[in-house]
Amino acid sequence: MPVPEPGEGEAKVRIVETPVNPSDLLYVRGQYAGVQEPFPAPMGFEGVGIVEAIGPGVKDLTIGQRVSVVNGRGGNWAEYAVVPAGELFHVPDDISDDQVASFVINPASAIVMVRHVLAVPKGAWLMQSAAGSELGRMVIRLAKRDGIRTVNIVRRREAAEELKRLGADVVFVSGDGPIDEQVREKIAPEGVKYAIDPVVGEIGTQMFRSLHEDGRMLVYGSLTGEPIRVGEDPRYILAGRRIVEVYWLGYWLKKFSASQTEQLNRDIIELMRAGIVETSTGRKYSLDQINEAVTQAEQTGRKGKVYLVPGMGAGNGSAKK
């Protein structure tokens, strides 16, 4: 591909690092409802880069500035990307490239889901599945900081003790029995009022049954690709007011005012410095190693976020996508 050049209100950035996120893989498989493009299409929604050129009308950016690159159209899995200037955020120098590369999607989702959408009060129980994921770990640390108690669901028993050391109050292994039975017998006989779930399928169904009659559950992913069976048991749909709703970061960021967005960025910086929404770093790959990178990113029990580093193994001449 030719190296892109910025137009009105845009900037060109040289990508330093870009993560392999679940949303990226859903997108390339045509399963990401929030963003649909005809193929072939550019890939990669997040990253860190250096501003190399700015288009007409761009203020507040300087050449050579390091920025968090939130590329809503996709295209960060490349040596260069052109994005609207408003999607670039300056991050202080004391935060590493690895953290800036994953500055928005997971940290913002943890903060927005827990503090804004659900607004979980201090002392309440918050239940989550996929608790061992990068986002799940952020939720555990954030909840601990905010005085919220967490019920965490994992598939692997060896993950339980690790999450408890991280600050998890309770960890349930899904293979030990139905989640709703474990919750009602050991934690809350009337169910929990708050839950977040990226798994759906049988786990999501059991989490729905774990809800208090006034419970709310956010679904922010579909790792199984299977439905939540909400209506199969009349006990949970003919009494109370249990709510299951979709969470998509893109929707909420559009709803935020400029001042709310600025505050969210300040919160991310503060919590990242404190290690609350910090991303653990895994293996790094060149763009030529994309198959190996995706395979590693989808490994069960993988440690740390997988990154693409365009400068590793980059060839000469045209830009790589």
Give the start-to-end residue ranges of the domains of the chain: 10-102+279-308, 109-250
Q: Is 219 helix (H, G, I), strand (E, B) or coil?
A: strand
Q: Report whether pLDDT(319) > 70.
A: no
Length of the chain: 321
pLDDT (mean) for 9-26: 94
% of the chain residues with pLDDT over 70: 96
Q: Which residue has the tokens 């608790």?
A: 131
d(CA 180, CA 174): 10
pLDDT for the residue numbered 94: 96
Q: Report whether pLDDT(313) > 50.
A: yes
Across 26-30, 79-83, 90-94, 246-250, least confident range: 26-30
The model's pTM is 0.90
Fold held by 10-102+279-308: Quinone Oxidoreductase; Chain A, domain 1 (3.90.180)
d(CA 157, CA 174): 9
Indicate the pLDDT class of residue 36, thresholds 50, 70 and 90.
low
Query: What pLDDT, in 10s, does the model give residues 143-166?
Result: 999 999 999 999 888 889 899 999
Q: Are 52 and 79 in contact (CB under 8 A)?
A: no
Which residue in 248, 198, 202 sits closest to 223, CA to CA?
A: 198
Query: What pLDDT, in 10s, does the model give residues 252-294?
Result: 988 999 899 999 999 999 999 999 999 999 999 999 999 999 9
Q: Report whether pLDDT(16) > 90.
A: yes
- Give 3-state DSSP helix, strand, coil % of the chain, rounded to 5: 35, 20, 45
> In the 8-state DSSP scheme, what is residue 1?
-
Q: Which two tokens stand for residue 110?
A: 């943890």
By DSSP bridging, strand 66-69 and strand 88-90 are: antiparallel
Which residue in 176, 134, 168, 175 sits closest to 152, CA to CA?
A: 168
Q: Report whether pLDDT(39) > 70.
A: yes
Helices 158-166/134-146 angle, 10° precision: 40
Q: Which residue has the tokens 């507040």?
A: 60
d(CA 117, CA 119): 6
d(CA 181, CA 189): 9
Which residue in 126, 114, 138, 240 sits closest to 183, CA to CA?
A: 126
Q: Is 16 helix (H, G, I), strand (E, B) or coil?
A: strand
Q: Which two tokens stand for residue 319?
A: 């830009």
Indicate the pLDDT class of residue 226, thresholds 50, 70 and 90.
confident
* Phi, psi (degrees; rounded to nearest 5) at 12: -100, 130
Q: What CATH number was assigned to the domain covering residues 109-250?
A: 3.40.50.720
Residues sharing a CB contact under 8 Å with residue 81, sequence separation 6 or more, in sequence order = 4, 12, 13, 15, 42, 44, 47, 49, 69, 71, 75
